[in-house]
Chain A
Amino acid sequence: MASKRYEFLFSAALCGLLLSCGTIDRRVDPDAPDEVGGPNLRSQDIRAMADRMAREIRESGVLRSSDPAHRVSFHISSLRNDSSDPIDRELILLGIRTRLQQKLGRQVRVLDRSTEAVEEIREEKAAKRAAAVTANPNLAGALAGSDYVLKGTIKDRTLQSDELRSVYYVVTFELTDLETSELVWSGVYEAKFLSEKSVISR
Chain B
Amino acid sequence: MSWSRAAGGLLAFACAGCAAYVPPVPIHEFESGDLTAVRSFFDRQIREGDVDSSALFLNGLAQMELLQGELPRARRHFRQAGQIMGNWRTSSSEVVSAIVGAESSKTWKGDPHEKFMNAFYNGLLYWIAGEQDNARACFKKGILADGESDEGGAQTDCALLFWLAARMSAAMGLDHEAEDYAKEARRARRFAVEHGAAGAVSNAVLERPLDGNLVCILSLGLAPTKVAAGRHGSVAEVVPQSGGAASAELFLGGRSLGRAALLADLDYQATTRGGRAIEGIRRGKAVFKTVTGVGGLVMLDRAFCDLGGGGGRETKLVVGLGLLALSLLTHSAADVRHWATLPKTVHALQADVDSGEHDLRIRFRDACGRVMPHLEQTWRIEVPDDGEGVYYFRSLPVLEDGEGSS
**Interface of A with B (CB < 8 Å)?**
2-3, 6, 9-10, 13-14, 17, 20, 36-40, 80-87, 158, 160, 162, 165, 195-202
**Interface of B with A (CB < 8 Å)?**
1, 4-5, 8, 11-12, 15, 79, 83, 86-90, 93-95, 98-99, 103, 106, 109-112, 122-123, 126, 131, 133-138, 140-141, 143-144, 147-148, 150, 172, 273-275, 277-278, 281
**Judging by beta carbons under 8 Å apart, are B88 and A80 in contact?**
no
**Judging by beta carbons under 8 Å apart, are B273 and A200 in contact?**
no
Bound-state CA distance A83–B8 (Å) is 51
- Name B134's contact: one of A17, A36, A86, A199 (CB within 8 Å): A86
Can you spell out 18 A-B residue pairs with CB atoms less than 8 angstroms apart?
A6-B5, A10-B4, A38-B88, A80-B172, A84-B137, A84-B140, A86-B123, A86-B135, A87-B134, A162-B150, A165-B144, A195-B89, A198-B90, A199-B95, A199-B275, A200-B106, A200-B277, A201-B278
Beyond known contacts A40-B83, A81-B134: 20 more, CB 8 A cutoff: A3-B1, A6-B5, A13-B12, A36-B83, A37-B88, A37-B89, A38-B87, A84-B137, A84-B144, A86-B141, A87-B137, A165-B88, A165-B144, A195-B89, A198-B88, A198-B90, A200-B90, A200-B106, A201-B275, A202-B278
**Judging by beta carbons under 8 Å apart, are A200 and B103 in contact?**
yes
**Judging by beta carbons under 8 Å apart, are A86 and B126 in contact?**
yes
| With known contacts A36-B89, A160-B148, A199–B277 Cβ distance under 8 A | yes
| With known contacts A17-B15, A202-B275, A38–B281 Cβ distance under 8 A | no
Chain A residue at smallest Cβ distance from B155? A160
A166–chain B nearest beta-carbon distance, Å: 11
**Judging by beta carbons under 8 Å apart, are A201 and B137 in contact?**
no
**Judging by beta carbons under 8 Å apart, are A202 and B274 in contact?**
yes
B1–chain A nearest beta-carbon distance, Å: 6
**Judging by beta carbons under 8 Å apart, are B87 and A85 in contact?**
no
Residues of B contacting A6 in the complex (Cβ-Cβ under 8 angstroms): 1, 4-5, 8
Closest 4 CB pairs of A and B: A37-B89, A84-B140, A202-B275, A198-B90
Chain A residue at smallest Cβ distance from B112? A202
**Judging by beta carbons under 8 Å apart, are A199 and B278 in contact?**
yes
Bound-state CA distance A36–B147 (Å) is 23
Residues of A contacting B141 in the complex (Cβ-Cβ under 8 angstroms): 84-86
Bound-state CA distance A85–B122 (Å) is 11
**Judging by beta carbons under 8 Å apart, are A82 and B133 in contact?**
yes
- Name A200's contact: one of B79, B94, B131, B134 (CB within 8 Å): B94
